[in-house]
Structure 1
Amino acid sequence: VRELVLDNCRSVEGKIEGLTAEFVNLEFLSLINVGLISVSNLPKLAKLKKLELSDNRISGGLDVLAEKLPNLTHLNLSGNKLKDISTLEPLKKLEHLKSLDLFNCEVTNLNDYRESVFKLLPQLTYLDGYDMEDIEASDSDGEVDGDGVDDDEDEEEEEDEDGEEEDFDEEDDDEEDEEEVEGEEDDEEVSGEEEVKTKKNKTKNGQLFKSLTRL
């Protein structure tokens, strides 16, 4: 499993039932509006790159993210209870983090919010979808690397399979046409032979009739 979406599920004491470290290949995890108060109970997911935590009640305790999700590149904390720049400081340990979203968090109302965050987290490329020069992130920058490759390959395979099936159908049709033509030729040959036999029989009968008349 590379992608797991658990949006609107209910967490119990900050835990999502069934979400464990057994998901070793997980690269995308979405936990939007699940009632999380902290991220302390998230399992260790070494391959996770993108984490969606929008619309929860997280107010701090982000230090465990670097320990449990060391390869995180995209983090969405929009709509949480983050008020101070200092609560974001633990994210400095996420060396690969390049995109952070904090829409609708109180911290965004602070003076020099963007400048302060970029200074605090120099590894960031995009904050709330824009870089330091206020240039919007492209669609490819907002996705996990490699996303959609398998889907394209599957579509190509399906198209190839459909094409092969059509070729087989055409070959079957050609074979059926050939069989029909051969059958018609056989019928013509049989009918021709019957006509010859009929003519020979008529000739023999005529000669026999003449012989009887003479007698």
Structure 2
Amino acid sequence: MDMKKRIHLELRNRTPSDVKELVLDNCRSNEGKIEGLTDEFEELEFLSTINVGLTSVANLPKLNKLKKLELSDNRISGGLEVLAEKCPNLTHLNLSGNKIKDLSTIEPLEKLENLKSLDLFNCEVTNLNDYRDNVFKLLPQLTYLDGYDRDDKEAPDSDAEGYEEGYNDGEVDDEEEEEEAAAEEERGEKRKREADDEGDEED
């Protein structure tokens, strides 16, 4: 499915300004670029475009409220200066599994003053000498790199996962509640039957 169609389906009769979370994983991008996403998605806080064949983020619209951006398993090798311009309030950025080879590629991220967590797993840049020390020097605002802080302490789940842990919680809770209610009803019926059986025996 292409990205435009996927966005249309994800809207489900909502307007773009109603959408806070948008997951477009595994759909097809057009010529390696983001398409179908406009600056009308002004309330968007979480965007995931994992494994969509992106080579560039140049077409990203202005998303002032975006906090978390998942770009892993694409083919991005540069052009990250766009992120500071389009998503100035980004706190979590995942670029794992992209074609990032050197520190100069991530240097533009220093303009993302609120960036707390950056993931570069499976990027060639991680093989450089003193990779972690150099990234923390380059991006002093970072708290976590690849899930660990400067002292190699692991990030709490809430920081590492960002919005994912809260995603779709409501639906699961409703289902669990329905199942629990049905089970309770069944237990009640069983107790009633047992009481009736005892009554029959006494007669």
Same fold (TM over 0.5): yes
Residue number in structure 1 paired with 2:98? 80
| Matching residue's letter, 2:115 | L
| Matching residue's letter, 2:82 | V
Residue number in structure 1 paired with 2:9? none
1:30 aligns with 2:48: yes
- The answer on whether the counterparts of 2:158 and 2:165 sit within 8 Å (CA) in structure 1 is no
SS in structure 2 opposite 1:83?
coil
SS in structure 1 opposite 2:35?
coil
Q: Deviations over 1:121-165 (max 9, x none)?
A: 00000000000000000111124379739956x959x97xx99xx
- TM-superposed CA distance for 1:18, in Å, is 2.1
Residue number in structure 1 paired with 2:134? 116
CA distance in 1, matches of 2:88, 2:39: 14
Unaligned runs of 5+ in 2: 1-18, 182-203
Query: What is the number of residues matched between the two proteins?
Result: 161
SS in structure 2 opposite 1:4?
strand
CA distance in 2, matches of 1:150, 1:139: 17
| Matching residue's letter, 1:12 | N
1:137 aligns with 2:155: yes
CA distance in 2, matches of 1:148, 1:58: 28
CA distance in 1, matches of 2:135, 2:148: 12
The share of aligned pairs that are identical, in percent, is 78
The normalised TM-score by structure 1 is 0.68
- The answer on whether the counterparts of 2:61 and 2:86 sit within 8 Å (CA) in structure 1 is yes
Between stretches 98-107 and 7-16, larger displacement belongs to: 7-16
| Matching residue's letter, 1:28 | F
Residue number in structure 2 paired with 1:201? none
- The answer on whether the counterparts of 2:147 and 2:155 sit within 8 Å (CA) in structure 1 is yes
1:16 aligns with 2:23: no
Greater Rg by CA? 1
Residue number in structure 2 paired with 1:128? 146
Specify which of 93, 97, 102 is matched with residue 115 of structure 2.
97
CA distance in 2, matches of 1:65, 1:48: 10
| Matching residue's letter, 2:121 | F
Distance change >3 Å, CA 31–CA 69, structure 1 → 2: same
The normalised TM-score by structure 2 is 0.72
CA distance in 2, matches of 1:23, 1:46: 10
Distance change >3 Å, CA 149–CA 58, structure 1 → 2: closer
Cα RMSD (Å)? 2.5
Distance change >3 Å, CA 140–CA 43, structure 1 → 2: same
Between stretches 137-146 and 42-51, larger displacement belongs to: 137-146
CA distance in 1, matches of 2:26, 2:167: 28
| Matching residue's letter, 1:111 | N
Q: Deviations over 1:88-123 (max 9, x none)?
A: 110000000000000000000000000000000000
Unaligned runs of 5+ in 1: 164-215
- TM-superposed CA distance for 1:22, in Å, is 1.2
- The answer on whether the counterparts of 2:54 and 2:76 sit within 8 Å (CA) in structure 1 is yes
Residue number in structure 1 paired with 2:83? 65
